[in-house]
A and B are shown apart, each in its own frame.
Chain A
Amino acid sequence: GNSVTQMEGPVTLSEEAFLTINCTYTATGYPSLFWYVQYPGEGLQLLLKATKADDKGSNKGFEATYRKETTSFHLEKGSVQVSDSAVYFCALRGAAGNKLTFGGGTRVLVKP
């Protein structure tokens, strides 16, 4: 079956630091890949996505590239802000159907 593995947190950074959250996946065929963000007390929001190999998703300064050869979709941001403190989830959706498979989530805390 499909699975997503992402680095465990928490990740604590200073403002303006570089952020990387690793995500690798196992799936058959050609899944779509997503990063969701969950701010404290809120539901999930789609941060970015990529639907085919070598696609780069980007939003709000965050980027992730769909790497089929390494089955990875690592999330990066060059300069984080305190407002980026949240839990980040990597997820995949199989080629057929609507179901999402989530990674365990990574809590990020950015200190001023």
Chain B
Amino acid sequence: GAVVSQHPSWVICKSGTSVKIECRSLDFQATTMFWYRQFPKQSLMLMATSNEGSKATYEQGVEKDKFLINHASLTLSTLTVTSAHPEDSSFYICSAVEWDYGKEQFFGPGTRLTVL
């Protein structure tokens, strides 16, 4: 149980285009989902917290207009990188929390974005 999937696992796009990344909780309902960014050989940086049916809460320094987050249901959250540029290339990881598990976060496998 407690499986989180991400799609796609990797994506290459041209500069200026938008890319959508999906995060799904497969066997539980996620009250909260988190989006992280991980640079090569570095730690995870929390980008935003999303709760189903409400606006995402972004961490300081994260552009909300560039990284659009939609938590449409209790099993799906999406991150859209708008007008992507090479500096947006990174590994994006989501996690989901089910309240019954005592706030433990379950992580997706990550999505590698490369912007040419």
Interface residues of A (CB under 8 A from B): 36, 42-46, 49, 89, 93, 98-100, 102-105, 107
Contact = CB atoms under 8 A, between A and B. Distances in A.
Interface stretch (B65-73, B77-85, B97-105): B97-105
Q: Which of A36, A44, A102, A103 has the most CB of B within 10 A?
A: A44
Contacts of A102: 43-44
Task: Say whether chain B's binding surface is mostly helix, strand, loop, or mixed.
Answer: strand
Given A45-B107, A98-B97, A104 B32 contact: no
B109 A93 contact: no
A101 to B, nearest CB: 8
Q: Which of A43, A44, A93, A99 has the most CB of B within 10 A?
A: A43
B25 interface: no
Nearest to B104: A46
Contact of A105 (B4, B42, B105): B42
Contacts, number: 41
Q: Which of B4, B6, B93, B103 has the most CB of A within 10 A?
A: B103
Interface of B: 4, 6, 32, 34, 41-44, 46, 49, 93, 95, 97, 103-105, 107-110
Nearest to B93: A43
List 4 A-B pairs, minimum CB-CB distance, nearest first: A43-B109, A44-B107, A43-B107, A104-B43
B113 to A, nearest CB: 15
Contacts of B95: 44
Contacts of A105: 41-43
B43 A103 contact: yes
Nearest to A10: B41
A109 B97 CA distance: 31
Contacts of B49: 98-99
Contacts of A42: 109-110
A93 B103 contact: yes
Given A43-B110, A100-B105, 19 more contacts: A42-B109, A43-B4, A43-B93, A43-B109, A44-B44, A44-B93, A44-B107, A45-B107, A46-B104, A49-B104, A89-B43, A89-B44, A98-B34, A98-B49, A98-B97, A99-B34, A99-B46, A99-B49, A105-B42
